[in-house]
Amino acid sequence: MSASLNIYDILSKVKMLDNEEQLILLEQNVALIKKKDAQSTPTKLSIISGLGSKVWSQTNIDEYIDQERQW
């Protein structure tokens, strides 16, 4: 942490805020943490495995491919 940003200095300034301002600060801090967490978590393609199986279960794949090739 930077020497100019000491956690204890920040906390002493937060204590000077009224309750409503502290709650706003807390909400904004939570939103910031959630945003950082969402950005750092890569999405795995394995989570969508089988997602279209219901849609394709009623389709004859060979007929579908033939239809697509004709247009």
pLDDT for position 3: 56
- Of 13, 34, 32, give the one whose Cα is nearest residue 22: 13
Q: Which residue has the higher pLDDT, 25 or 56?
A: 25
For the chain, how big is the Rg over CA atoms in Å?
26
pTM as predicted: 0.46
pLDDT for position 46: 84
pLDDT for position 2: 54
Q: What is the C-alpha separation between 64 and 70, in angstroms, rounded?
A: 10
**pLDDT of 59 higher than 60:** yes
Mean pLDDT of 21-44: 86
Q: What is the C-alpha separation between 27 and 54, in angstroms, rounded?
A: 41
The mean of the pLDDT values for the chain is 86
The widest CA-to-CA distance across the chain, in whole angstroms, is 73
